[in-house]
Structure 1
């Protein structure tokens, strides 16, 4: 179970491997996740996951952030997914000890963007609570591009990658399409309205909390109060709010910013209608 202090990720991953090996041998039903952080990529989902897991009534899963069953691992099947989850008996024991049933969640920055993930989650956990983190679409797309360059997936300069995006995402080969859809969807993943509509088509809008990355880092305590309320948990402030998986600052080049902003302008206008207010970064 999580506490207010976070173990070093490398040490924690080693502990998770040991826990996973032990729990997989235990018989019986598994506890399903009750909440899902569904994106967006490069919008602070790792930090949000850490902040949520610092709550004493939130259990950290057997895999860091989550096993990504409902997007990239769905073909492995439900039995594989079962082996990634805590036994119900373990959660029952903790409920007796704590006087309240703890919850666990799953996080993938690809869930909101994947065309089938929302339907898959709804089929298994129809009462799930979803959290969708938005970031200035220009900043997010540029951060995503830099991230793929650093990881070695992207070899084109941004102008060429921007020009190639539509063709990359129209790739007919399923395996190539899957790779491109995850790694080269810089502008497409910044079109939040399309993703929010898809989430709301599978879940009641009340089940989908939308927060802004900028607010998460500028005022983490108030933002997390809203997150915990969405999860029916009492707020528990942290002593400090670190940033996880952040990048060194890099201003978006003016030409790149102009291209991205023009490409998402219609989506930003649609998003304002869906949210009932303008995002903080909208012009």
Structure 2
């Protein structure tokens, strides 16, 4: 059974569902279900992992694609992917970290997994993450926007040519142009004309107040050094990353 060769590894709330849907429609792609959460599963014996059940989730021929955006953030996940398939290619999407954090908070709030107001949740985040896995998965609003650290980890494990960084707004504005880059990167035929997609849109709920100026400043201050790192590693900066 062939190995999974392409991972949409990051980041959550950055257009990964739409990219997965585009790829799933490509005739040369075998896309697994979205969010397989294999390489971030701490119940797996990672000293002797059994990949059989994981690979069985990919039915049919073509390039196998796993779209699980927590991989770039979750400790150890990228290392596990590298051990599984050193030749794998990884796509990491990013967006303005304030918008990303707010979008994640809205998702958790709509699901009933978040009761704290956004302003308090981002300021209590480090304490909640330190309490265990639930905090890492559900309340990592600012931490997941540390794209520089994620890029550094990926670059330490994979050659630069096996990594593609995409800004989510570009995918929304110019899907054909971005998908041409994705196809070239993955070794696929070009997509041709595509109908614009917007998947996993925010649930229609009455949300409390969105981030104010103090919240935005707090997030951007926490990520200031990481933003410099991200630009140095990827060459992407300015408004695209912030």
TM-score, normalised with respect to structure 2? 0.89
Q: Distance in 2 between matches of 1:245 and 1:167?
A: 29
Per-residue CA deviations over 1:100-156 (Å, capped at 9, x if unaligned) read: xx2111111100001100110000100000000011111101111111111111111
Q: Distance in 1 between matches of 2:146 and 2:93?
A: 13
> Of 38, 41, 52, which residue of structure 2 is paired with 1:72?
41
> Of 217, 222, 232, which residue of structure 1 is paired with 2:172?
217
Q: Are 2:12 and 1:41 equivalent residues in the alignment?
A: yes
Gaps of 5+ in 1: 1-29, 95-101, 172-176
Asked whether the 8 Å contact 2:8–2:68 carries over to 1, the reply is yes
Determine the structure 1 residue equivalent to 2:88.
Answer: 128
Are the structure 2 counterparts of residues 85 and 277 from structure 1 closer, same or farther at C-alpha, using a change threshold of 3 Å? closer
Determine the structure 2 residue equivalent to 1:16.
Answer: none
Asked whether the 8 Å contact 1:39–1:132 carries over to 2, the reply is yes
Correspondence list, 1:77-96, <5 A: 78-79=49-50, 81-86=51-56, 94=61
Indicate the SS of the match to 1:133: strand
Are the structure 2 counterparts of residues 86 and 75 from structure 1 closer, same or farther at C-alpha, using a change threshold of 3 Å? closer
Comparing 65-74 and 259-268, the one that deviates more: 65-74
Determine the structure 1 residue equivalent to 2:200.
Answer: 245
Q: Distance in 2 between matches of 1:157 and 1:57?
A: 44
> Of 218, 228, 232, which residue of structure 1 is paired with 2:187?
232
Q: Distance in 1 between matches of 2:193 and 2:176?
A: 8
Indicate the SS of the match to 1:194: helix
Q: Distance in 2 between matches of 1:55 and 1:282?
A: 29
Asked whether the 8 Å contact 2:9–2:68 carries over to 1, the reply is yes
Asked whether the 8 Å contact 2:20–2:31 carries over to 1, the reply is no
Q: Distance in 2 between matches of 1:60 and 1:189?
A: 24
Instruction: State the aligned residue count.
Output: 236
> Of 203, 218, 235, which residue of structure 1 is paired with 2:158?
203
Correspondence list, 1:101-250, <5 A: 102-171=62-131, 177-247=132-202
Determine the structure 1 residue equivalent to 2:240.
Answer: 281
Q: Distance in 1 between matches of 2:95 and 2:159?
A: 23
Per-residue CA deviations over 1:186-241 (Å, capped at 9, x if unaligned) read: 00000100111111111112111101001111111101111111101121134302
Based on CA coordinates, which of the two structures has the bigger radius of gyration? 1
Gaps of 5+ in 2: none
Q: Distance in 2 between matches of 1:119 and 1:264?
A: 24
Are the structure 2 counterparts of residues 51 and 156 from structure 1 closer, same or farther at C-alpha, using a change threshold of 3 Å? same
Asked whether the 8 Å contact 1:31–1:86 carries over to 2, the reply is no
Q: Distance in 1 between matches of 2:57 and 2:173?
A: 37
- The CA deviation at 1:39 is 1.0
TM-score, normalised with respect to structure 1? 0.77
Per-residue CA deviations over 1:148-202 (Å, capped at 9, x if unaligned) read: 111111111112111211111222xxxxx11110111100000100111111111
Q: Tell me how large the CA RMSD over aligned residues is.
A: 2.2
- The CA deviation at 1:258 is 2.2
Q: Distance in 2 between matches of 1:153 and 1:263?
A: 24
Indicate the SS of the match to 2:8: strand
